[in-house]
């Protein structure tokens, strides 16, 4: 069965970027520390990255994050979705209007202008099709940014929350949780490595 999984790195004080993020500074000041684990050689970090990438049937992201990854300093042939694994699932972007052009033309992009619910529904269709082709269950991954993941949690669209808790305090930046809607979580897994703590919760 295809699940909707929010998968994102976060600081100890709840930020998914550092201060002043933008197209040329996607993770904000100091935000690179959030993703140290994705380039780590720790076997547990590599396993978490590989498993998360391998289960991705489709990926949802917001327009601001799209502008970062598709920008001139964004993804390339060596670093992309899945960091060094550079996987190529279908990507669904929630946006007010499609971009005039796309740099990463080798990736499968769908731009949804009718809201987050429709974007998740479109991604589910793509993931289910990918699951049928692969012969095993694949999921929809909400990769961010923080506002997209937070809105999906508030809307009750998320089945699983996968956090990569980095040992850094950023002080400010893009918050993951704005406290709009309380959610009950059931902890399923905890994996501690030299760079991060990987946490998985079912969202009730």
Go through the domains of the chain in sequence order and give each one's CATH number.
Answer: 4-203 (3.40.430.10)
The tally of CA atoms less than 13 A away on the side-chain side of residue 21 is 21
The tally of CA atoms less than 13 A away on the side-chain side of residue 39 is 9
Q: What is the pLDDT of residue 86?
A: 83
Binned at pLDDT 50, 70 and 90, residue 17 comes out as: very high
Q: What is the pLDDT of residue 180?
A: 79
**b/e string for 66-79 if b means 16 or more Cβ within 10 A?**
bbbbbeeebbeeee
Q: What is the pLDDT of residue 21?
A: 92
pTM metric for this prediction: 0.96
Residue 22 has pLDDT above 90, yes or no: no
- Residues 152-177, mean pLDDT to the nearest whole number: 97
DSSP state of 194: S
Binned at pLDDT 50, 70 and 90, residue 139 comes out as: very high
Binned at pLDDT 50, 70 and 90, residue 200 comes out as: very high
Residue 106 has pLDDT above 90, yes or no: yes
Distance separating the N- and C-terminal Cα atoms of the chain = 17
Q: What is the pLDDT of residue 23?
A: 82
Count of beta carbons in the 10 Å neighbourhood of residue 187? 10
Q: What is the pLDDT of residue 179?
A: 77
% the chain with pLDDT above 90: 93
Binned at pLDDT 50, 70 and 90, residue 164 comes out as: very high
Count of beta carbons in the 10 Å neighbourhood of residue 9? 25
């Amino acid at each position: 069965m295809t699940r909707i999984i929010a998968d994102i790195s976060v600081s100890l004080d709840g930020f998914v970027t550092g201060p002043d993020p933008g197209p040329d500074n996607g993770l904000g000041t100091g935000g690179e520390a959030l993703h140290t684990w994705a380039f780590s050689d720790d076997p547990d970090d590599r396993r978490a990255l590989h498993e998360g990438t391998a289960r991705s049937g489709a990926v949802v992201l917001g327009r601001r994050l799209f502008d970062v990854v598709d920008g001139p300093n964004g993804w390339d042939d060596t670093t992309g979705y899945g960091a060094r694994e550079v996987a190529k699932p279908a990507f669904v972007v929630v946006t007010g209007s499609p971009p005039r052009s796309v740099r990463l033309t080798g990736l499968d992009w769908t731009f949804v202008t009718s809201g987050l619910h429709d974007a998740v529904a479109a991604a589910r269709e793509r993931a289910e099709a990918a699951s049928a082709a692969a012969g095993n269950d694949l999921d929809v991954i909400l990769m961010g940014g923080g506002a997209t993941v937070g809105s999906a949690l508030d809307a009750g669209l998320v089945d699983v929350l996968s956090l990569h808790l980095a040992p850094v305090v950023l002080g400010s930046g893009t918050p993951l949780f704005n406290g709009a809607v309380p959610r009950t979580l059931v902890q399923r897994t905890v994996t501690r490595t030299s760079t991060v703590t990987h946490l998985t919760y079912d969202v009730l």
